[in-house]
Structure 1
Amino acid sequence: MSDRDLSAAVSSEAAGGSQGRPKLRRCIPAGLTVEPVLFLSMFAMALQGPLVTQYIWDRVSADLGFNGTKQQGCGHLNGTTDPLQQEVETLTSHWSLYINLGGFVVGIFSVMLLGPWSDSVGRRPVLILPGFGLALQAAIYLVVMYQKLHVGYFLLGRIISGISGDFNMILAGCFAYIADVSNRQSRTFRVAILEACLGIAGMVASIIGGQWREAQGYINPFWLVFAVNLVTALYVYLCVGESVKEKKPSRLFTPRHYQSVFRLFTVAGENKRRGKLCLYLLAFLLVVTVHMGAKDLFVIYELSSPLCWHSDLIGYGSAAEHLTYLSSLAGLRLFQLCLADSWVAEMGFLSNIAGLVVISLAATTPMMFTGYGLRFFAMATTPIIRSKLSKLVDEGDQGALFSSVACVEGLSYLLATGIFNSLYPATLHFMKGFPFLLGGLLLLIPAGIIGIIEVCDQKPMYSQFSEIS
């Protein structure tokens, strides 16, 4: 039986938006598209991320003979820090930098190739390939843990995952898919739903990961990571219909794909499209750099004195961090009733900055969770920027656009790991939370960019109430 025989109509929203919308296979409920793909992939990533950092910490501590701060009056601010603990923190952050750096550099070139290719051959191939790559990465991590190999072998897994597109390609493919099946009016909220899937998956995985590691160690959770990535690839193959309406054969290894991304930012368009694309991408670069840079340091910050959290508290903290996706989705839906998207984004910046400032000064568990709480609306900015970018390009260039966005995300990860993981050990002697304070200050730049574009735009997209008035 052919795919057409198996497919069903998308949702009433997508069907109403335009004729000829893509059809989805019947194993997906009405209105559901690639949300399960992003949920499963993010679940695996969120389960894996903190555990990798803790594993590196434990291995480095064992190699250096460091028994931890729990027996050394942890939590008392006496103005001194164990030099051995500082060495463990430094080596852990540096190895995190090396491992992430290798994967992200390789992934940038893969995503720029696969994204434009998907505009011709469809989104499904570029969603299946990264799933297998991430599963292979988890398998290599398991070998390292079983054989107690040096943590540097994690880099091999990251490079292999980067060749297949890594998690960034899944992000690019899913967001391009939503751009294919949604109309301009609903796109911001549909993108926000995708990002909320990131939050829900991350929250569940963080709670499970902390408790599971405390009870059974590292290996069993990584078997689940391996299985979930395989299930994700299988789910796309069996259940996800194609969203590209007119597929055509296209070679994968050709410079034309890179050229299509380059043309987006060199060919002038109407309404100052080229300038807006560059400015929005710069804002996106800074937002994701701060977000990922701070996120990478949260676990190290919480493991060391004066907080000295155990795995269960680290899991709850990571869950609180991912809960911002859900609270941001609810707030976005509410504030869109009376504010333009740009001003909703400004509120997100304010929430994020306030939370990072408090976290930079956190010396107790309640204060750390207060910082997490203040960031309740922090994730409203990225779906708005993605939606604005999507509306600036033609329907046939969505894959090229979101591959460039994914490359910017890869560059953001590169900058985040390079700047924040290097800055953290360098500032331990005078202010442990300085990287978080710096992140809050950096967010003032994208906040200014979005505000200026909105003010200077001759045809701002006001909300319904503004149009009525």
Structure 2
Amino acid sequence: MSASKNEREGETNCKTSTRRPKSCCSFVKSLTVEPAGFLLVVGLMVSHLVFQNVMMETVCRVDLEYEEDMCTEIIDNVNITFKTEEREIQKVVAGLQAVSSVIFSCITVFVALFIGPWSDAHGRKMPLLFSMSGVILMPTMMIVGYLCLGKIRAIYMVLLATLPMTLTGGLLVYIMSAGSYICDTTTEKNRTVRIGVLSASIRAGTPIGIMIGGILMKFKVGIIKSLLVAIVLAGLGFLLVLVRVKNGRIAGTSKGGEENCEKESDKRERSCCKKYNPVTKLIEAFAILFQKREHPLRFCLLIVAHICYAVPMVEHSMVYLFVRERLQWDISDYGFFSMINYLLSAAGVFLSMYVLSKRLKLSDALVGFISGLSQIGGSTLYAFSTTAAMMYCASALDMMNGTINVVVKSMLSKLVAANEVGKLFALLGVIDSLLPLLMGPTYAIVYRSTLTSFAGAFFLLSAGVTIPAEIIFLYFMIRKDKKVNGEEDETEPTALDKPQITVESCNKSVPDIAKIVPSKVQLSSYSLNNISEPKN
């Protein structure tokens, strides 16, 4: 009887000591970079959508020298009478997007690689504000370019608008710095939730921003006023970070790393400069590919699968041009479609993660394979869509494509050591940043080449690129690797699973744990396995 009572007390104390849930209100108050990121992306998408029309009008009036009245009919009213002229405009715009994508990606990658190690020594607040300032300056420079409408060529207007965000790293640096800030300021227990909220905030900002931009254009608010709305939204995010985020350095880093470089010897200077050298960081990011590990083939195959998933993400810059060409949609139509598309995508991720993975306990490889089929089917239907109903059906069919990214990252994290997880995600980030260098121009060339014959050909390119990922998932399904597929036994938890297994082990196997270990000490699976029952 006493033993049973002690067991219940131990279980209660253990749960109390290890599970201290925060209230919903306190959790919301703890959010800082997440709502700021949402505001930033909303402002960014509003300015991007509005600037699409400005760029098309510049190409029409200046580059192609069409009449102003004709350009107004083409851009604002999507008049099919001038179908041939709009196709010529879209070809030039697609080429400009390819050029700007290459320039933006080249510079941004090196900015991110420099700011990453710099923020380790000096804190995350300045990189956050620095990247956000570029997003605020972009619509500001768009206004300057719009005031020069009809006087400068489209390529100069594109460079004028994108240069500030390119030099500051833009959204890439913000997401990187925000993720690092969350890791610095959270415990391992709630870190995953906070990073998930950040990801959801960024994803939610995209369709909301496109919808707001479409509404502003539909009610003819005007280009300048719409861009001012974008500036205000991004500015609110900037103020939120400025007020709420506290700067701090990682433990073990020296204060003023560059100052120490000047005071130390020449050898120390070279070492410190090497530390912040973006080229060195780029090499270090890819070095994880060549490290000796137990299953190098499986690791490389999953990296290839990640690339196959990331490539179709580049297609989004062509979708607006496609729906204008194929369906004669305006900005408001496209904005509403984007909102529905996001809601379906969110539902698809929930279906995959909660139902297929958690409830039905399907292997990671099988969930990834099903998601790949969703992406291939959706892309194929997009390519042949001739009505709005077909576009929405394609979006529903494509709803699970976002799961591939989650599955691949989960499988990769199980193949690396705990101290390599950060390097792994750095590598994946670099890959995501470098892919537009190659695939941005590729998608633009495909769209320009097939515009008059089959404008949806670039969707088939996305479907084709996904096929190798499907073959890789089949390979893991046939091998039935429990570790990679997420079917491993609970007695052998991964590094990320240990805190959860610890609670279960505490409740089942160690009834007097609250008396043995102080409540503030976080238990590891190793310590639990080495605690023995008191001898009679």
User: Aligning the two structures, in what range does the TM-score lie when normalised by the shorter sequence?
Assistant: 0.7 to 0.9
**1:184-203 equivalent positions in 2, closer than 5 A:** 187=192, 191-203=195-207
Residue 285 of structure 1, aligned match among 277, 285, 307: 307
The structure having more radius of gyration, on CA atoms, is: 2
1:445: Cα distance to partner?
1.9
Shift in CA distance, 351/146, structure 1 to aligned 2, threshold 3 Å:
same
1:28: Cα distance to partner?
7.0
**Greater mean deviation of Cα atoms: 439-448 or 454-463:** 454-463
Give the gaps of 5 or more residues in structure 2. 1-14, 262-271, 493-536
Structure 2 equivalent of residue 155 of structure 1: 159
AA aligned to 1:210 is G
Residue 434 of structure 2, aligned match among 398, 406, 411: 411
Q: Secondary structure at the match of 2:28?
A: coil
1:323: Cα distance to partner?
2.7
Structure 1 equivalent of residue 343 of structure 2: 323
Does the 8 Å contact 1:351/1:376 carry over to 2?
yes
**Greater mean deviation of Cα atoms: 41-50 or 308-317:** 41-50
Shift in CA distance, 349/211, structure 1 to aligned 2, threshold 3 Å:
same
Does the 8 Å contact 1:196/1:325 carry over to 2?
no
Q: Secondary structure at the match of 2:386?
A: coil
**1:55-74 equivalent positions in 2, closer than 5 A:** 55-62=54-61, 63-65=65-67, 66=70, 67-68=73-74
Structure 2 equivalent of residue 314 of structure 1: 334
Residue 483 of structure 2, aligned match among 442, 459, 466: 459
Structure 2 equivalent of residue 8 of structure 1: none
Structure 2 equivalent of residue 90 of structure 1: 91
Which whole-Å CA distance do the structure 2 matches of 1:115 and 1:150 have between them?
A: 36
Q: Is structure 2 residue 357 aligned with structure 1 residue 336?
A: yes
Which whole-Å CA distance do the structure 2 matches of 1:458 and 1:373 have between them?
A: 31
**1:169-180 equivalent positions in 2, closer than 5 A:** 169-178=173-182
**1:217-236 equivalent positions in 2, closer than 5 A:** 217-236=222-241
Question: Structure 2 length as normaliser, TM-score?
Answer: 0.71
AA aligned to 1:263 is E
Q: Secondary structure at the match of 1:216?
A: coil
Q: Is structure 2 residue 268 aligned with structure 1 residue 248?
A: no
**Greater mean deviation of Cα atoms: 199-208 or 244-253:** 244-253
Does the 8 Å contact 1:57/1:88 carry over to 2?
yes
1:265: Cα distance to partner?
3.5
1:334: Cα distance to partner?
3.1
Question: Structure 1 length as normaliser, TM-score?
Answer: 0.80
Shift in CA distance, 105/235, structure 1 to aligned 2, threshold 3 Å:
same
Structure 2 equivalent of residue 373 of structure 1: 396
Q: Secondary structure at the match of 1:377?
A: coil
1:421: Cα distance to partner?
1.1
Shift in CA distance, 124/402, structure 1 to aligned 2, threshold 3 Å:
farther
**Greater mean deviation of Cα atoms: 238-247 or 308-317:** 238-247
Shift in CA distance, 60/269, structure 1 to aligned 2, threshold 3 Å:
closer
Q: Secondary structure at the match of 1:286?
A: helix
Does the 8 Å contact 1:116/1:403 carry over to 2?
no
Which whole-Å CA distance do the structure 2 matches of 1:61 and 1:48 have between them?
A: 20
Does the 8 Å contact 2:36/2:236 carry over to 1?
no
Counting aligned pairs with the same residue, the percent is 18
Which whole-Å CA distance do the structure 1 matches of 2:249 and 2:468 have between them?
A: 36
Which whole-Å CA distance do the structure 2 matches of 1:128 and 1:72 have between them?
A: 43
**Greater mean deviation of Cα atoms: 370-379 or 388-397:** 388-397
**1:433-452 equivalent positions in 2, closer than 5 A:** 433-452=456-475
Which whole-Å CA distance do the structure 1 matches of 2:414 and 2:182 have between them?
A: 12
